[in-house]
Amino acid sequence: MSKQTGTKRDIFAELMEGVEAMGGRRAGKLTLRTHSLPAPEVEESPGAEFFVAVRERFNVSRAVWANMLRVSPRTVEKWEQGGQVSPLAATFVDLISKFPDTVDRLQTLPKRVARLPIAFPTDRSAITVKQLFSAAGLPVCGPVRWKEENVPESQPGVYVVATVSSPDDDAGLDYVSGLREEAAHRWIPSQPVLYVGQTTRPLSVRVKEFYRHKPGFAAPHSGGEEVISLECAKWVYWSPTKNSLDAESKMIEEFETRVRRLPFGNLKRPARVKRDLKSDAVSF
């Protein structure tokens, strides 16, 4: 009996009515409500001056501004130094510029961070940069600071991007900012090596291409592009070798054997290398 009307509900009839409604929608007899929206104007994302001007209008430092907008200081720095800005971020700041009270509303919300990566078994052993190069029989050169210094090597070879400044350090980061949710499942806590790459051209040229690459584009260095957006200190190590493909294969095989995963930035295994056991010649 319904407490409000005193009438008895027919639950079965209500369920059947719902089932019939779903059937009617699938058959095209019922339609969902639609909305017509005017086509938006299309403009290029604004430059660095725009982002600086909006912040200065509020008369705050980058650090305070980042906290007010619920983003990282590195993100604000990238906006104001002419770095790549997503259309969504540009629209967000434009909204604040036109409606300043949006900042006050943001203060009622928590600061969001990427969802924590899936926990991995604790029996995985970390592998150092030096051990990785040793697996290919190569010495370690470097490191240089990511984007701040170029690799001073004109020979082809292999290179590694890591979160440690010493090739013997096995203490990687448990978590970093800038980790996209769709890439979170590939993050490997405590592993210092982020990416292993090779080039048959000068190492200096290839690493510069990595520095310049913008995620989402096919060139100049689409491999390992998830590494670019990570907001943490990064270093580049390298070793010259004419057999760069062979060396890369050995290094990734060693990483996979020890960690049971590919490095975070490597989405696939390198092409398998065939060796002539008599002459140790390499063919593909």
Mean pLDDT confidence for 173-189:
83
Rounded to the nearest 5°, which phi and psi values hold at 278? -75, -45
Distance CA 81, CA 89 (A): 15
Rg (the chain; Cα; Å): 27
**Total-model pTM:** 0.56
Beta bridge partners of 198: 158
- pLDDT at position 14, please? 65
- pLDDT at position 30, please? 52
Q: Report, in this order, helix, strand and coil percent for the chain, each rounded to 5.
A: 35, 10, 55
Residue type at 88 in one-letter notation = L
Strands 157-162 and 193-199: antiparallel
SS3 call for 161: strand
122, pLDDT greater than 80: no
Tens digit of pLDDT for each residue in 61-81? 988 998 888 888 878 888 888
Distance of CA 30 to the CA centre of its chain: 42
- pLDDT at position 55, please? 93
50, pLDDT greater than 50: yes
Q: Which residues of 116-125 are buried (b: 16+ CB within 10 A; e: fewer)?
A: ebeeeeeeee
Rounded to the nearest 5°, which phi and psi values hold at 222? -70, -25
Distance CA 114, CA 267 (A): 20
List the domains of the chain with CATH numbers: 48-106 (1.10.260), 129-268 (no CATH)
Give the H or E element holding residue 142.
Answer: strand 141-145
